[in-house]
Amino acid sequence: MDITTQYGTLHNCYNVAYHNNGQLAACICREKSPIYMDNFSILPYFSENSRRKASPSIKFYDNGNLKAVYLEKRTTISTPWGKILTEMLTFYPNGNICRVFPLNGQISAYWSEKNEAALIDKSSFSFACGNFSARPMCFHFYETGELESLTLQPAEQIELTTSVGKIKIKCGLSFYKNGQLASIEPALPQKINTPIGSIKTFNPNSVDVSADKNSLCFSETGLLSSCKTTTSIIAVKDNKETVITPDTKRHPLSDTAVLTIPLTIKFAKEHITIIKNEQEIFQLNSNNYRFIIK
């Protein structure tokens, strides 16, 4: 089955899906089907290999605009960040690049994250928060072209300089449109200075598949705005103590192990918000309390 699109003809397609309005949503090509964009052409995958994911070669929005392409082989693509050797990329509805994946292999019992990461070399990066070399997993851009986040390969850890000190991170980092650091994911429990004292910040349950949103967050001016901790906090007012301790729950994969659910602490000019769970949220005026960190 051949399908004609505004970008070219897709040949010998199968696993074809359509939007409710009848527009092509996705398909897998079984023959070479180059597609043509403004200044370049790219080739959706049409051949199988041992690390190929069972996902569409190409996806579209319901207005016919390109949404994502899984490439036949890694191809150098011009992006707002420069030229990147790419295996998969996604687009915003207006055609601007959304995400770029240098690799897109299927992790399995026969193909590990280590095998996958070994296919690319480390790249050098330079930001206001630090210079480092690491293997990237995904570049995410704002619709207007600025870098929104950089996700790193799972084994990568780097050190960055922040307003709360040097922090060793994993997963990656996210940015505001002005280039200011927005969030990072600490790689291990690390002490930081906060408006209520020194706290070990860490999220033991971070998923680490995307650096879009992380547990240690900053304002657009660089100030600490929130963090997570497994440390207990005692808020004292008029000699009365409120003890706020992280919840625990049974590990879904073990009858004996437990998970600690970290507290989320949000910092504002005169208020501290400590979130234990959806039902227990403590909003405290920092001028009226003193805090003891256990």
Among residues of the chain, what percentage have pLDDT more than 90? 87
Instruction: Indicate the average pLDDT of the chain.
Output: 95
In degrees and rounded to multiples of 5, residue 131 shows phi and psi of: -110, 140
Residue 121: both structure tokens together: 């070399």
Interval 131-149 mean pLDDT: 98
CA distance 150 to 135: 10
With a CB cutoff of 8 Å and minimum separation 6, the contacts of 274 are 233, 235, 244, 263, 264, 265, 266, 281, 282, 284
What digits encode the pLDDT tens for the residues 21-33? 999 999 999 999 9
252, pLDDT greater than 90: no
Bridge partners for 285 per DSSP = 271
Give the number of other Cβ atoms within 10 Å of residue 180's Cβ. Answer: 15
Its pTM stands at 0.93
Interval 186-193 mean pLDDT: 96
CA distance 163 to 222: 6
- For residue 208, CA distances in Å to 71, 203, 215, 257 come to 24, 11, 11, 21
With a CB cutoff of 8 Å and minimum separation 6, the contacts of 36 are 7, 8
Q: Which of 49-53, 179-183, 189-193, 222-226 has the lowest mean pLDDT?
A: 49-53
pLDDT of residue 253: 78
pLDDT of residue 38: 82
Interval 2-9 mean pLDDT: 96
pLDDT of residue 270: 85
Selected residue with higher pLDDT from 91 and 251 = 91
What digits encode the pLDDT tens for the residues 57-104? 999 999 999 999 999 999 999 999 999 999 999 999 999 999 999 999
Interval 119-123 mean pLDDT: 95
39, pLDDT greater than 80: no
pLDDT of residue 89: 97
